[in-house]
Chains A and B, each alone.
Chain A
Amino acid sequence: DAGITQSPRHKVTETGTPVTLRCHQTENHRYMYWYRQDPGHGLRLIHYSYGVKDTDKGEVSDGYSVSRSKTEDFLLTLESATSSQTSVYFCAISLGTHADTQYFGPGTRLTVL
């Protein structure tokens, strides 16, 4: 198994509160990704990182921010959580080469009430 952990694994929060999800890897992979997965939508990219302090937006980045201060850690922050952000969030890593495999963490189930 790729060394990817996510914390917390489950979280329930209230609308308007800030939430930070953490992804930690032990593989020293350059690329890290945050996805959300919702029924009928598959995986949608929120933000990704291609190195320390190098990040870019994905297709559903509104309402989310990220930071990567160390190679091994990639944080996803919901500045002010909304019910539409209730989802399962997955972190993934890759080497970034052509046709490269993405390795996924176990996911965080977030419920915003």
Chain B
Amino acid sequence: TQLLEQSPQFLSIQEGENLTVYCNSSSVFSSLQWYRQEPGEGPVLLVTVVTGGEVKKLKRLTFQFGDARKDSSLHITAAQPGDTGLYLCAGPTEDSNYQLIWGAGTKLIIKP
């Protein structure tokens, strides 16, 4: 059974600090996606990583896909209150490309 485990479950830090959150599995994924969800809204895609070792940057957010394609990380530099939200990772199931397995998420709060 494919599982995605996210850590930490909850993180509260001050504005300006750096942080890293993780998405780990014992299974190999063909790709992983990161979504951000704000309160009262649905998740919105931030990035998709496809190649092992791939690094993608989105302003102050840096996403990395592990070399073995079993894990991914999200690093935020100089966090801002606007980064507050639930960060979810997701990957396609072994059986199909159109179904996703979801991690439980990291709830991030950035205090001004």
A residues with a Cβ closer than 8 A to B are: 4, 31, 40-45, 48, 50, 58, 90, 92, 94, 96-107
Q: Across the interface, do B104 and A40 meet the contact criterion of CB distance under 8 Å? A: yes
Residue on B nearest A35 in the bound complex, by CB: B102
Choose, from B66-74, B76-84, B92-100, the stretch at the interface: B92-100
Greatest chain A CB density within 10 A among B42, B45, B92, B104 is at: B42
CB distance from B49 to the nearest CB of A (A): 9
Q: Could you tell me the dominant secondary structure of chain B's interface residues? A: loop
Given known pairs A40-B104, A42-B105, A101-B33, the reply for A96 and B98 (CB within 8 Å) is: yes
14 pairs, A vs B, C-beta closer than 8 Å: A44-B102, A48-B98, A48-B99, A50-B98, A58-B99, A90-B43, A98-B30, A99-B31, A99-B92, A100-B97, A102-B90, A103-B45, A104-B41, A104-B44
Q: Across the interface, do B42 and A100 meet the contact criterion of CB distance under 8 Å? A: no
Q: Which residues of A contact B31 (CB under 8 A)?
A: 98-99
Q: How far is the CA of A102 from the CA of B91 in the complex (A)?
A: 11
Q: Which residues of B contact A31 (CB under 8 A)?
A: 98
Q: Across the interface, do B43 and A104 meet the contact criterion of CB distance under 8 Å? A: yes
CB distance from B93 to the nearest CB of A (A): 10
Q: Is B48 an interface residue (CB 8 A)?
A: yes
Q: Residue-by-residue, is B15-52 near A (CB-CB < 8 Å gives 1, otherwise 0)? A: 00000000000000011010000001111110010100
Q: Across the interface, do A97 and B97 meet the contact criterion of CB distance under 8 Å? A: yes
Q: How far is the CA of A37 from the CA of B48 in the complex (A)?
A: 22
Q: Which residues of A contact B109 (CB under 8 A)?
A: none
Partner of B97, one of A42, A44, A96: A96
8 extra interface residue pairs, beta carbon distance < 8 Å, beyond A101-B48, A102-B100: A31-B98, A45-B99, A98-B97, A99-B50, A99-B92, A101-B33, A102-B43, A104-B41
